[in-house]
Amino acid sequence: MTRQEVPIVLAPTQDPASRLLAALFQRVGVMDLLEVERANGSMEAVVDRMLASIPGANVLDERVGPFYDTAGLRAWFKMSRQTLDAQARAGDVLCVMSGDNQRLYPSFQFDANGSLLPRLREVLAALDPGREALWGDAVWLNAPVDELDGLTPAQALRRRRGDEVVRLAQQAGAFRLG
């Protein structure tokens, strides 16, 4: 039997760790955990991936947000690595490199349905035409801007304020290059 029913019921509590574990236990009971472990290499790798998607679990989350790795995005979008790499090179998807040379994709650029941030390519081309400061681009997209009524450029793009964001990206890019 590869699937295990996990009949764990935890008493309601105000403790955030207990609430997290209770929600997790409810969901893993219907999963084939041996397959999950095999597909990810180890349970530690599963936990690392889970934590990477939780806001606040990583130091950079405060500035950029949680990240998806290449395998996670490929599975979600059902695309090849080459297609994902091409989208990153074109600026349709923002990809940053970790200190250990892993490709990371900030989650802010995707909505819950997987739709990409509108006009991201245009904004990145204006902000950083040489694609030289991708971490800085990610931070810029997530920094509140007075000219956008306190919204971040990423939030403003989702609210269809792309013209304003592109103009601000052009100004920031000119300042960076100037």
User: Which pTM does this prediction carry?
Assistant: 0.64
Tokens 């997790």 belong to 24
**Model pLDDT for residues 143-175, shown as the tens digit of each residue:** 999 999 999 999 999 999 999 999 999 998 876
Residues 6+ apart with CB under 8 A from 139: 63, 64
Dihedral of alpha carbons 55, 60, 63, 67, sign: negative
Q: What is the spatial distance between Cα 154 and Cα 38, in angstroms, rounded to a whole number?
A: 36
**Model pLDDT for residues 31-85, shown as the tens digit of each residue:** 888 888 887 777 766 776 676 666 555 555 567 878 888 998 888 888 899 999 9
Is 168 strand, coil or helix?
helix
Q: 94 — phi, psi (to 5°)?
A: -90, 125
